[in-house]
Every structure is written in C-alpha cells, then in structure tokens.
Amino acid sequence: MLPSARPPSQRSGRLGLGIIGAGRVGPVLGLALAGAGHAIVGVSAVSEQSRERAEAMLPGVPVLDIPTVVERSELVILAVPAPELPSLVAGLAATGTWQPGQIVLHTAPGFGIDVLQPAATAGAIPLAVHPALEFTGTSLDLARLGESYFAVTAPAPVLPIAQALVVEMGGEPVVVDEADRPAYAEAIATATAFSRSIVEQSTGLLRSIGVEKPGSFLSSLIRSAVDNALTRAGAPTRLDLDVIGALQDDAAGGVAGGTGPEGDPGDDGRGWFLRGE
C-alpha cells in the first residue's frame, strides 16, 4: 500500500514526489516540497528548454517518461498547460497507470477536481492547487511562494492534505469551490494580463520620448500604485508585512526565532495577519 493511502496518523509524512512538466511551475513547486522533506523521484521534460530547466532547477533528479514518473510516485504534480490536462489524465487512466491512494495534484487555475475524475476512479486522491503567482521558473520564485496565496479545491475528507502541502511550500491556502474555479481563473488572468500590458504601454511611451531605462524609472511608481490599490482592496502589502514582523519582534523581545521564553520554534514568520487571527 502506498504511504498516501494510509490514514494520516499512520503516514511518515514524507512522500515520493513526481513532477509532470518541467515548465516554470513544476520544478519550483517540487523544490519547495523537497525543502519540506519530500523526495523528488523523477521529472518529465520533453522540449530541450524544459530539459535544461529541469537540470538547472533539479540537479540529479532523473528525467523520465510520464508513465514511469507516475508509477514511481506517491504524490504526482501535474504542471502542464491547461488544455493538455484533461487528455493527459484520461490517457493515464486508460493505460491503468494511476494507483490507489496516490495523491494527484494539478496546478491549472481554471480546473477544479472534476478534471481528475479518471484518476479518482482508479483510487487516486484528487487535489487542485494553484499558486497566485506569476512564475519566472527560477529560484527567485521560492522566496515569492512565502508571500503567496494558493487556491485549493479538494474533496472535503482530503482537503487538509492539500492545505498541508501548501503550508509546506510556504504559502497560504484559500479554499475555492469547484463551481468558482472559472471565475477564479478569470480573475488571475485579468490581473496578470492587465499588469503586464500597462507596464509595457507605459515603458513604451517613456522610451519614445527618450527616457533611458524606462522600467527602472517607473519601478517605484508602479510598485507604490499597486500597493496602494491592494491596500484599498483590504490586502496586506509588503510594507505592511515588514512592519508587522518588526512589531512582533519588538513585542517578543527578540524571540521571533524561538530563542526566548515565549518563542515558538515552529512559527513560520508570517504572523497573525496572514493567518487571519
């Protein structure tokens, strides 16, 4: 029996992790989970660019074909383009590749767990987990995960598994209902595309009038404008979190790292604000 098929109280908590897709997202999430103690057993990479990224981000991890990655894994991350997801899941079900008790996690924003039904029928545990972050595909993303929220959709009995994996990656899980995933995906696409297009348009105008390094010129303006807009929307900004962290350190008398009498060695440093306390 796979460890993931056992009751939570009987699991070691460490899983053999397989990554399907070596684009910008899969290797980063794999590294984050490896940092929490899970073991990456393999990654699939088809294009030359994806193979190079896999080698750079996951040195020493074997590059394997998709069925082999799935067969060796207790937790499978499907980090593939959304249009490819349904056929991939169904194809692996048709060949009997999915295993009972295996955790299958996809990262497509517009899909919930219905797309994983062929795997669930074979006994796999379906999870939909999307980090609200525009990835670069580099190690820079690892730090950004700690400032990110993750949309989580899962059957109620296994929702804690999805939430625990997000916390292990350094993020904050937010439950999104199956029916709300299309609206969630639209919100993510709108924010991403609008931000990119505004920056490109603004820097283009400045470049046309001879301003050198227009990106650097607008950097403080854009960051402050976005922070102000997020504040009005009720979200913490980077400055808010830094101030909160400093106040917590002062109040604890320097015990934020668990060194004082009131310190909590398990504190993840995000504080009460992000936990919603």
Helices and strands, number each (H, E), in the chain: 11, 7
Terminal alpha carbon distance of the chain: 39
Say how far apart CA 33 and CA 15 lie, in whole Å. 9
Neighbours of 58 (CB within 10 A): 22
CA–chain centroid gap for 38, Å, is 15
Q: Please say if the pLDDT value at position 109 is more than 50.
A: yes
Average pLDDT over every residue of 160-178: 97
Identify the residue whose tokens are 């995000």.
270
Of the pLDDT bands very low, low, confident and very high (cuts 50, 70, 90), residue 274 is very low
Token digits of residue 218: 């607008």
Sheet of 149-153, strands arranged across: 39-44, 16-20, 75-78, 103-106, 125-131, 149-153, 172-175
Say how far apart CA 225 and CA 120 lie, in whole Å. 44
Identify the residue whose tokens are 């609200």.
132
**Residue 242 pLDDT:** 55
3 state SS of 94? helix
pLDDT digits (tens, 9 = 90+) for 200-237: 999 999 999 999 999 888 888 877 887 788 788 876 54
Q: What angle do CA 88, 31, 4 make, to 5 degrees?
A: 60
Residue 19, amino acid: I
**Residue 250 pLDDT:** 52
Say how far apart CA 89 and CA 126 lie, in whole Å. 11
Say if residues 212 and 133 touch (Cβ distance below 8 Å).
Answer: no
Query: In DSSP terms, which residues pair with 63 in a beta bridge?
Result: 43
Neighbour-count burial for 6-24, b at 16+ CB within 10 Å, e otherwise: eeeeeeeeebbbbbbbbbb
Judge residue 26's burial from the number of C-beta atoms within 10 Å of its C-beta, 0-12 exposed, 13-18 middle, 19 or more buried.
buried
The whole-model pTM stands at: 0.74
Provide the strand spans (E) within the chain: 16-20, 39-44, 75-78, 103-106, 125-131, 149-153, 172-175
- Mean confidence (pLDDT) of the chain: 83
**Residue 196 pLDDT:** 84
**Residue 230 pLDDT:** 77
